[in-house]
Amino acid sequence: MNLPLGHHSLFDYHGCAREMLTDTEAIRSTLLAAVKEAGGTIVTDTFHTFSPYGVSGVVVIAESHVTIHTWPEHGYAAVDVFSCGVSLDQNRIRDRIAGALQAQRVEERRFARGMTPG
């Protein structure tokens, strides 16, 4: 049996509220709350506002991470969630962000990383 070492999800948020996608502090608060609710242990985080607009952020979790990049002009945000083990509730993170961004549509792609002989 092969077991993955990591689980990596790409979440795409379409039709988001544009004012949310430029609000760096609200996005940071949302991601930190989402990680805590999902059972993650936050190591550090870094968020940046880009000119003319758009937010990039990373939350480093123990051996895991969540990132976000926003395009306010397209009402779009790209998120990825990487975790080892199965303790981080990725669906909770996905849904918490969707609610905060008021996304009309969420796409998801999920991948196993590092398949090793188990």
Structure tokens at 113: 């990383």
SS3 34: helix
**Applying CB under 8 A, which part among 16-24, 30-38, 87-95, 109-117 lies near a copy of itself?**
109-117
Contact between 6 and a copy of itself by CB under 8 A: the answer reads yes
Contact between 17 and a copy of itself by CB under 8 A: the answer reads no
- Give Cα separations from 12 to 44, 48, 62, 75 (angstroms): 23, 19, 24, 11
CB 76 within 8 Å of CB 27: no
Q: Is 16 a catalytic residue?
A: no
Residues touching a copy of itself, count (CB under 8 A): 33
Catalytic residue among 7, 8, 16, 64: 64
Q: Is 84 a catalytic residue?
A: yes
Q: Which of 9, 15, 2, 37 is nearest to 102 (CA)?
A: 15
Q: Is 69 a catalytic residue?
A: yes
Structure tokens at 107: 């796409």
Q: Which residues contact 115 (CB under 8 A, 6 or more apart)?
A: 2, 3, 4, 5
- In the region spanning residues 38 to 77, those forming contacts with a copy of itself, defined by CB under 8 A, are 43-44, 46, 48, 50, 54, 56, 58, 60, 62-65, 67, 69, 71, 74, 76
* Least spacing, CB of residue 42 vs a copy of itself, in Å: 11
* Least spacing, CB of residue 101 vs a copy of itself, in Å: 13
Whole-angstrom distance, CA of residue 41 vs CA of residue 28: 15
Task: List interacting residues with a copy of itself (CB under 8 A).
Answer: 5-6, 8, 10, 12, 14, 43-44, 46, 48, 50, 54, 56, 58, 60, 62-65, 67, 69, 71, 74, 76, 78, 80, 82, 84, 109, 111, 113-114, 116
